[in-house]
Structure 1
Amino acid sequence: MSMLPPASLVVSLAIAPLTLGLLSQDGAGRLHELLTLCLAGMLILAQLLMLWGARALAKGLVSIVLFTLVLVLGSYVLPEYWVPMAIWDALSHGLAAGLSLEAWRPALLATLSLILIAVLIVTRSQPARGGPLLSIMVLCLLAMQQLLNYTNLETSLIRASAGTWTTLTIAVLLAGLGVSSVPSWHSRAVPLKRVLSPPLFLVVLTLLLWHHQKSITEQGLAHQTQAQAQQLGDRLTREIQDHLAAVERFASIWTLFDSPPTQEEWSRQAEPYHRDFRFLLNMAFVDPDSHITRVHPINEINRQALGARLFDAQPAGREAVSRALHEHRIGRTEVIMLLQGVPGIIHYLPITLEDERILGAVAMVISLPVLAERLFSEVDTQAIGLALSQGDRTLASQFPEISLGPWQHEILLDVAGTPLGLTVQPSHAQLIARLPRHPVVSLVTGLTLAYLLYLVLLGYTRLERRHRQVHAANTGLRREIRTRNQLQKEIEWLARHDELTKLPNRRLFMETLEANAEARPLSVMICDVDHFKRINDHQGHLIGDRYLKRLGNIGREVVEMHGGLFARYGGEEFVACLPRVDTAQAESIAETLRHRLQESGLSHHDGQRLTASFGVVTLQDGPLEIATVMQAADEALYRAKAAGRNQVRTAPTLSVIESP
């Protein structure tokens, strides 16, 4: 209780910057700061209630703040394909008409700072629950906010740091929590230095990584929008160049005629070009005296230009007309006011006959408002602002009502030789929707891992100090258990395997046969080495053992390839269980094994190759009687030996077997 008065005093001091911060806000323009200060004020009240003993009321107040902050953090973390930005804005519209998420959402680092302080208040800053680390994490977040503010590294794309008054309020509140908590940290004799260093390093590394990822992702998004704007301008430039080339071909058509075209001929030839290139106001025929005698399309606005003498009616384009009619070269105007009353660019293409006479000129009239409309139709003008300009003069523009982002991309357009500027400015909402969320996810994940690492290290340190001797005893006990388990496994393996050949023994063979009692067909093969006693008598048991190992390896390769089990039955006898293998397949497997053994290079003392005899039986139907099956296979083996050995004999296929 001796620490209660100074702790209450320090926490109460946070009310001063909180009050000044609330008074300094200008309503809706700084709604996010106002909400952040209100949440900080609720945490100040909760801490005072906690110090005065009203813990239940304080935890209820903290729960409300935490719910709001977690909702805000979710808007930063959740990817666009999970919860689109349009849904967040729709929820904001439910709070107030015309309100967007970005207008009220607190800054990212301030949100995380308040979440950590709320956890500090609920856990009463206990060291066992991470109180020291949480306090240091808040300090690191506040330092990062100040770094972003003072070095102008903060970008307006995502609001990361809060204002000065909000930061000061959080700092004073954290100081009050520290005054009430630091004595308890020392009294509990927690080894803070040992357990704080790794998590603190992870916190700093996380903040640096977040800042780096944030910069990289925003730069990448800026480059993407720049490239998209450039693609839009390049596409329009290519389209205009393609049309100019097409109009040159159109002009060359009329060099085949000695007289000017009729209106019908002109409209028929010009219609496909006008249909393909909608930014053309018209295509006109100009006679040698600069009179407009033909025009397409014939509409109210173009009809006003018929009969006009360009030398008189359009002085700004006189030089371009003269170049086409007198110098027989393509003439281009700058951006001028057209006869139809709109700004545009005109290209005059001379029609020169074979005798060098000038028939007239083709006027390709590009309306800049129509060109801008054509350009604007390529993008979503509700999310992107566009402006078409020449120098400082804006020719056409269209901007959405929503707020625009910080990036303006200037693209140079070549409108048939006339340079124009295209300004592309994506909206702030579109940029936020396209911005990757992984930097924020990395930040939240890193801070969470640092907190968990602190808890793990603290628990491990205490456990190590209290149970070091028990741990040594448990280590010895585990070592003995592992040794016994290993011995048990070896005993179990030896009980079912032949120690010499490492093959399954008779017991495992019988278990496998019983396990496949329902498999049909079921084939059994018995293999016996011919004259094996001679090997032991003349070459010794070591050679005999080596031959048995070699036969075991060959048998395992051949039989296991067909899903069977090859086992040592006893002495020089081997058996094979072949589930779902019919008589023909079993006989083929036995023949393969016989040939492999004969070609293995094993021989008797007199040079005769080592061979074996085989007996095969297949159970087709009926229940399995192991004794009967083995007897049938043994009889087939006997017939193979009686017939001269080194051969395979097959017993008749068994169906229903009666017990003997």
Structure 2
Amino acid sequence: MFRPAIPITGGVLILAILSALAAVFDGDTMALSLLGPIGLVALAQLAMLLRRTLSAWLLLVAALSFLGITLLSYLLPEYWVSLAQWDRASAWLFGGIPLDAWRPALSVTLCLMALAINVAIRSRAVYGGPLLAGIALLLLLMQLIASLIGSDYVVPYAAAPREQLLLWGLLAGQVLAALPGWRAGALIIQRTLWLALALAAMVMLFWYQQKQLTEEQLRAQVQTTGQQLADRLTREIDEHLSAMQRFANFWTLFDRPPSQAEWGHQAAPFHRDFRYFLNIAFIDPDSRVRRIYPHSDINRQALGVRLFDAQPQGRAALSQALIEQRTGRTGVIELLQGVPGIIHYLPIPLDERQTLGAVAMVVSLPLLADTLFQQTDTRQFALSLYAGQGERELLSHWPEAALGPWQYAARLDVAGQPLELRIQPSRASLVQQLPRHPAVSLVIGLTLAYLLYLMRHAYASLARQHRAAHAANAELRREIRTRTQLQKEVEWLASHDELTRLPNRRLFLDTLKANAEQLPLSVMICDIDHFKRINDHHGHLVGDRFLNQLGKIGHEIIESHGGLFARYGGEEFVACLPGTPAEQAMMAAEQIRLGLQAANLLHHDGKPLTISIGVVTQVAGAVELASLMQAADDALYRAKAEGRNRVILAHSDHGILSDS
């Protein structure tokens, strides 16, 4: 399997190098930060396939060091190591580049770590190789799904399609290289992999749910912040409208237009409290601006201007105040000072028909927005103020930091005029607020799945070894039993005749020697008469049957007399009767002769099968086996010579009976 694995891994390495060069040319820091460790892992994997172990380990240490630092940045709580500290460290290491500009997504980091560790352990099943490959596969599938459906997460968890393709290539090379070893232990892998892989999948789903929940909570927090900002501004506008009404009512006490000093004295506190008033002006019944505060250069230019002519957009609102003695408000118009704003006209009536003039409260929308922006941290938020439903941008502020994916629009009502406030937090501020427990849960869960696999694999291996040892022991016991049985058979064959199953000559002589002191000791030798004719005319099978029949007859009779009946060789049989006198031995011999005669075993000519028996009994003295056997053989010879089918008892001067 190394043959396809090597070109696949080599192709991944070449593509990673080319992509890294393109990322350098494009200034894509994020892609470069991921292509670097991918290239290191691919090179280490290729070195491991080519048996360059030391080089592979050095490359893996470099890749895992980078990935380990990245993983720590996701796991360590903000109160341990803040995002600002990570950014400072990143800027020091990478020449001013903040953490968020190069840090790969958590799922990508874990996927690449799993692939790197799998290279280090050479994908061995005993060290968790199949599970690491399975975890990498699940993480890649999650990234593929995220790429297909799209997402607006603060911290994305999918690499770009190019990097995903490289990770798929690394995984394919590892699996192809490891398949032969995995097939050898397929049974154990099947028993241990699926439970651990199911746990890893559940952990990933749980992490995804936690990630969804925390980002939704953060999104709701951003919306709350924007709404609170809008509500605060709305309350302030309502307060300034009430203050303006009191200011206008004050001048109804006079029957003449105010002087500039009087006007400035009364308008100064209002302007100080509401900084977004561009000016507070007194308008005479002819719509001319007579008094204005503050008395700045830009405001003095408006003195004496007839507003009905110079500002036709506000004519209707001004007419309501001067003619109808009702409060008038313009929409968002271009002010005389060249900025967008809203003017509130409050009438100063003399009586029911005459008007002393009107108070003009000129609200500068840029100043209003600036006042609003000062109430929040503009380094962490992008703020924009729009007229109406977002048709016209009045003022905006954009921080230097990269913005997050969410924008919240809040509706404002500035004295009946609709405005829209848009707030978009920076990505760094969102990342800083994100809780770390989903990432911690994911890492701990995958670690537990890995440990579960190792434990179950070790248990399965021990169980297999136990079964193998048990089988070996059972086989050994069977072998021992077989060998014991064979030994018994060998021992039995060494002392018995295989045809008749009777003791053989050796066992007979050993028994005779063992009972030499049990006098009187009787011995008999039996020989079938004319047995050669049986073999010649009936064949050896019939001869064997006749021998077996004689063996059974002799065994039953001699055993009943407490002796041993054995085959001495050919058609000769012998018997040992310790403690048996001659009369009893002769009786046993006669029973054998008559028993064979009664067995109806016939020669080819119809004559019955007969036997000749020589018997000897020693009643005193030391037993000499050779002499005893010779005496029995002599008695047998005499039986043959005297016509066969008879029993002859031998005598001797040494306690061995002679012929009677």
* Partner residue in 1 for 2:443: 444
Give the whole-Å Cα distance in 2 for the aligned partners of 1:341 and 1:303: 14
SS in 1 for 2:275: coil
Residues 147/419 of structure 1: CA separation in 2 closer, same or farther (3 Å cut):
same
1:325 aligned to 322, 327, 338, which one? 322
* Partner residue in 2 for 1:194: 191
CA offsets per residue over residues 382-404 of structure 1, 9 Å max, x none? 22111112142211111122222
* TM alignment of 1:531-546, pairs within 5 A: none
* TM alignment of 1:387-402, pairs within 5 A: 387-390=384-387, 391-402=390-401
Residues 427/12 of structure 1: CA separation in 2 closer, same or farther (3 Å cut):
same
* Partner residue in 1 for 2:111: 113
* Partner residue in 2 for 1:207: 204
How far the C-alpha of 1:279 sits from its partner, in A, is 0.8
One-letter code aligned to 1:416: A
2:80 pairs with 1:55: no
2:98 pairs with 1:100: yes
| Identity value in percent | 49
- When structure 1 is superposed on structure 2, of 27-36 and 410-419 the one drifting more is 27-36
Residues 283/13 of structure 1: CA separation in 2 closer, same or farther (3 Å cut):
closer
* TM alignment of 1:497-512, pairs within 5 A: none
Cα contact 1:32–1:107 (8 A) shared by 2 = no
2:422 pairs with 1:423: yes
* TM alignment of 1:400-411, pairs within 5 A: 400-411=399-410
Cα contact 1:351–1:360 (8 A) shared by 2 = yes
* TM alignment of 1:119-134, pairs within 5 A: 119-134=117-132
Alignment gaps of 5+ in structure 2: 470-660
The normalised TM-score by structure 2 is 0.67
Greater radius of gyration (CA): 2
Give the whole-Å Cα distance in 2 for the aligned partners of 1:452 and 1:7: 28
SS in 1 for 2:28: helix
How far the C-alpha of 1:59 sits from its partner, in A, is 0.9
2:65 aligned to 58, 64, 67, which one? 67
How far the C-alpha of 1:136 sits from its partner, in A, is 0.8
SS in 1 for 2:377: coil
* Partner residue in 1 for 2:148: 150
Give the whole-Å Cα distance in 2 for the aligned partners of 1:171 and 1:217: 29
2:347 aligned to 350, 357, 377, which one? 350
* Partner residue in 2 for 1:604: none
How far the C-alpha of 1:255 sits from its partner, in A, is 1.7
Give the whole-Å Cα distance in 1 for the aligned partners of 2:290 and 2:103: 64
* Partner residue in 1 for 2:158: 161
How far the C-alpha of 1:353 sits from its partner, in A, is 3.1
- When structure 1 is superposed on structure 2, of 298-307 and 327-336 the one drifting more is 298-307
Give the whole-Å Cα distance in 2 for the aligned partners of 1:355 and 1:138: 84
* Partner residue in 2 for 1:307: 304
2:334 pairs with 1:337: yes
How far the C-alpha of 1:56 sits from its partner, in A, is 2.0
CA offsets per residue over residues 116-137 of structure 1, 9 Å max, x none? 1111111122222111111111
* TM alignment of 1:609-620, pairs within 5 A: none
* TM alignment of 1:460-475, pairs within 5 A: 460-464=459-463
Question: Alpha carbon RMSD of aligned pairs, Å?
Answer: 2.4
Cα contact 1:77–1:437 (8 A) shared by 2 = yes
Cα contact 1:413–1:420 (8 A) shared by 2 = yes
* Partner residue in 2 for 1:222: 219
Give the whole-Å Cα distance in 1 for the aligned partners of 2:311 and 2:167: 69
SS in 1 for 2:420: strand
Cα contact 1:126–1:181 (8 A) shared by 2 = yes
The normalised TM-score by structure 1 is 0.67
SS in 2 for 1:452: helix
1:373 aligned to 354, 367, 370, which one? 370
One-letter code aligned to 1:421: E
Give the whole-Å Cα distance in 1 for the aligned partners of 2:262 and 2:430: 51
How far the C-alpha of 1:9 sits from its partner, in A, is 3.8
How far the C-alpha of 1:29 sits from its partner, in A, is 4.6
Cα contact 1:290–1:310 (8 A) shared by 2 = yes
2:42 aligned to 41, 44, 61, which one? 44
Cα contact 1:127–1:190 (8 A) shared by 2 = no
Alignment gaps of 5+ in structure 1: 471-660
2:32 pairs with 1:34: yes
Give the whole-Å Cα distance in 1 for the aligned partners of 2:332 and 2:5: 73
2:236 pairs with 1:239: yes
2:358 pairs with 1:361: yes
One-letter code aligned to 2:450: Y
Give the whole-Å Cα distance in 1 for the aligned partners of 2:25 and 2:90: 16
* Partner residue in 2 for 1:171: 168
Give the whole-Å Cα distance in 1 for the aligned partners of 2:68 and 2:10: 26
CA offsets per residue over residues 247-269 of structure 1, 9 Å max, x none? 11221122222222222322222
One-letter code aligned to 2:412: L
CA offsets per residue over residues 210-250 of structure 1, 9 Å max, x none? 22222222222112111111111111111011110111122
